[in-house]
């Protein structure tokens, strides 16, 4: 991986600058260049690259990284050659030529400077092209500025939390029709004196809060009632500026390039004023110690511009959040019945055709489902485990095991490991890849 080679090169450059004579200025310039490329490639390594534009950009950055490494190699090779010639000359008593720079040395210095200037121009060209920089960050260690922030591009760390979308297949959801009808009725028919009512859906993890919000968001009557609808996956941090930017992104179908909160607020007011809108804030946590202040900063502009009938739906695990945002209505979401959990388990294990196993398997399966405690996520995961298993002994082993341990072992360990890899520095990723070439139980000898 090119970014790992660059990381190692940057680490050694500080000593090289002081050790290699005649190139101090050029090597300092090279150090800055390589640091910028390393930061950009490191940023790319922490997120999935899906856009073809971003893939081309990463490839170009890797080429620049290799070109920069070539320059360092040329300088190091020339310096090593000079040291060897010096030792050979000392042995022969020939030392006079060291006091006069050779033509080849002068040419190399000019070549290094020209090549560095060319690389810097290419990197600046990439950084200044908004249409191609995508989601990568080009950090400038001198100005202490991330190029993407200077350009006004908006980023969010999607790896820090589960990002959700407003889409759901209603036919694959069981046991939430009553809950959906209740929340829709709150939104469309309940009278209130609040200018911007807030409906908080509260329940434990994986109980189905997001699914319920998706069902309500996509309800036909809800779509007809609201002129504008916005789905915002909040994540770990309640960042007001980012939330408003997401609203603008959904209106204009492109990244928000505004940088100041004042500009963003003006645009939000301009687009929402006089319109009946629905905003879903999915996954609001109590982690922010100043959530109440942030909530006021978020809700006040909306209360000033929305027309009568606008609503906010909020999903959270914590009743404290519902209190902080001064919810107009709080809807506590309960666990599913064993029958509904069985339908989820059955669909995951046997597909749309329904149960096709023996009565003994069904009896074991219903007992497994009872251990899910009404959590649809657990029923779906366990059903997925049984999809290609029809042996009674395997089902009995699952029944006799701790359900949480089974799910963690079969699914979450791999997912957590994958998320950990994304957060690894590039050089550690390379170490892991390097170690993978050794067979199991291979004895690696330690160098003296």
Where a domain ends, among 301, 332, 363? 332
Question: Are 290 and 415 members of one domain?
Answer: no
Task: Tell me, yes or no, whether 447 lies in a domain.
Answer: no
CB 205 within 8 A of CB 359: no
State how far the Cα of 154 lies from the Cα of 130, in Å rounded to an integer: 12
State how far the Cα of 234 lies from the Cα of 314, in Å rounded to an integer: 10
Bridge partner residues of 244 (DSSP): none
Question: Are 266 and 407 members of one domain?
Answer: no
Residue 388's pLDDT is: 79
CB 433 within 8 A of CB 5: no
Reduced to 3 states (helix: H, G, I; strand: E, B; else coil), residue 140 is strand
Where a domain ends, among 302, 317, 332? 332
CATH assignment at residue 190: 3.40.50.300
Question: Are 291 and 326 members of one domain?
Answer: yes
Task: Tell me, yes or no, whether 185 lies in a domain.
Answer: yes
- Quick one: DSSP state of residue 445? P
Structure-block tokens of residue 219: 């309800």
Task: Tell me, yes or no, whether 441 lies in a domain.
Answer: no
Length in residues, the chain: 448
Could you tell me the pTM of the whole model? 0.58
Question: Are 326 and 203 members of one domain?
Answer: yes
Question: Are 326 and 431 members of one domain?
Answer: no
CB 244 within 8 A of CB 305: no
Query: How many domains does the structure of the chain reveal?
Result: 3
State how far the Cα of 134 lies from the Cα of 255, in Å rounded to an integer: 10
User: 427: domain range?
Assistant: 338-435
Task: Tell me, yes or no, whether 370 lies in a domain.
Answer: yes
Task: Tell me, yes or no, whether 254 lies in a domain.
Answer: yes
Question: Are 148 and 126 members of one domain?
Answer: yes
Residue 144's pLDDT is: 39
State how far the Cα of 85 lies from the Cα of 105, in Å rounded to an integer: 13
State how far the Cα of 223 lies from the Cα of 215, in Å rounded to an integer: 11
Which pLDDT tens digit goes with each residue over 276-317?
999 999 999 877 678 999 999 999 999 988 788 999 999 999
Question: Are 269 and 389 members of one domain?
Answer: no
State how far the Cα of 316 lies from the Cα of 74, in Å rounded to an integer: 58
Residue 119's pLDDT is: 77
Question: Are 27 and 147 members of one domain?
Answer: yes
Structure-block tokens of residue 41: 């490639």
Task: Tell me, yes or no, whether 48 lies in a domain.
Answer: yes
State how far the Cα of 252 lies from the Cα of 154, in Å rounded to an integer: 14
Question: Are 147 and 180 members of one domain?
Answer: no
Question: Are 235 and 277 members of one domain?
Answer: yes
| pLDDT tens across the length of the chain (448 residues) | 444 545 555 455 445 544 555 555 666 666 676 776 766 666 665 555 556 666 777 777 778 777 877 877 777 777 777 777 777 766 555 544 444 445 555 566 667 777 877 877 777 777 665 444 445 555 444 343 444 333 333 333 333 356 888 888 888 899 999 999 999 999 998 877 778 999 999 999 999 999 999 999 999 999 999 999 999 999 778 999 999 999 999 998 877 777 788 888 889 999 999 999 999 999 998 776 789 999 999 999 999 887 889 999 999 999 999 999 999 999 999 999 999 999 999 999 888 777 877 788 899 999 999 999 999 999 998 998 888 788 888 899 889 988 777 776 655 545 555 545 655 666 666 677 677 777 877 887 777 6
CB 372 within 8 A of CB 378: yes
Task: Tell me, yes or no, whether 40 lies in a domain.
Answer: yes
Where a domain ends, among 94, 128, 153? 153
């Amino acid at each position: 991986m090119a970014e790992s080679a660059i990381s190692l090169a940057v680490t050694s450059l500080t000593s090289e600058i002081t050790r290699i004579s005649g190139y101090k200025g050029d090597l300092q310039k090279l150090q800055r260049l390589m640091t910028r490329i390393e930061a950009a490639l490191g940023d790319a390594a922490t997120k999935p690259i899906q856009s073809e534009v971003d893939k081309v950009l990463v490839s170009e950055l890797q080429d620049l990284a290799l070109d920069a490494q070539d320059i360092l190699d040329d300088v190091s090779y020339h310096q090593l050659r000079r040291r060897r010639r010096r030792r050979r000359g000392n042995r022969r008593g020939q030392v006079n030529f060291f006091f006069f720079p050779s033509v080849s040395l002068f040419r190399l210095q000019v070549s290094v400077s020209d090549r560095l200037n060319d690389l810097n121009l290419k990197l600046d060209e990439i950084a200044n092209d908004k249409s191609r920089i995508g989601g990568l960050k080009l950090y400038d260690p001198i100005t202490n500025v991330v190029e993407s922030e200077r350009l006004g591009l908006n980023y969010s760390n999607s790896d820090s939390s589960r990002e959700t979308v407003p889409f759901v297949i209603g036919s694959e959801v069981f046991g939430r029709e009553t809950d959906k009808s209740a929340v829709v009725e709150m939104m469309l028919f309940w009278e209130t004196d609040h200018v911007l009512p807030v409906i908080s859906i509260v329940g434990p993890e994986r109980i189905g809060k997001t699914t319920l919000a998706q069902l309500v968001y996509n309800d036909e009557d809800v779509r007809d009632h609201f002129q504008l609808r916005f789905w915002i996956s909040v994540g770990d941090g309640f960042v007001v500026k980012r939330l408003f930017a997401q609203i603008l992104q959904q209106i204009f179908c492109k990244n928000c390039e505004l940088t100041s909160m004042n500009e963003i607020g003006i645009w939000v007011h301009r687009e929402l004023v006089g319109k009946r809108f629905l905003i879903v804030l999915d996954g609001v946590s109590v982690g922010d110690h100043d959530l109440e202040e942030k909530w006021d900063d978020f809700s006040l502009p909306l209360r000033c511009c929305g027309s009568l009938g606008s609503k906010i739906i909020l999903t959270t695990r914590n009743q404290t959040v519902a209190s902080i945002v001064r919810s107009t209505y709080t809807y506590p979401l309960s666990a599913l019945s064993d029958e509904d959990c069985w339908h989820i388990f059955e669909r995951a294990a046997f597909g749309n055709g329904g149960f096709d196993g023996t009565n003994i398997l069904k009896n074991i399966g219903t007992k497994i489902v009872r251990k899910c405690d009404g959590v649809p996520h657990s029923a779906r995961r366990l059903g997925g485990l049984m999809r290609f298993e029809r042996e009674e002994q395997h089902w009995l082993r699952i029944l006799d095991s701790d359900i949480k341990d089974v799910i963690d072992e079969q699914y979450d360990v791999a997912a957590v490991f994958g998320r950990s890899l994304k957060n690894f520095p590039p050089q550690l990723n390379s170490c892991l890849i390097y170690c993978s070439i050794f067979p199991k139980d291979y004895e690696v000898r330690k160098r003296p």
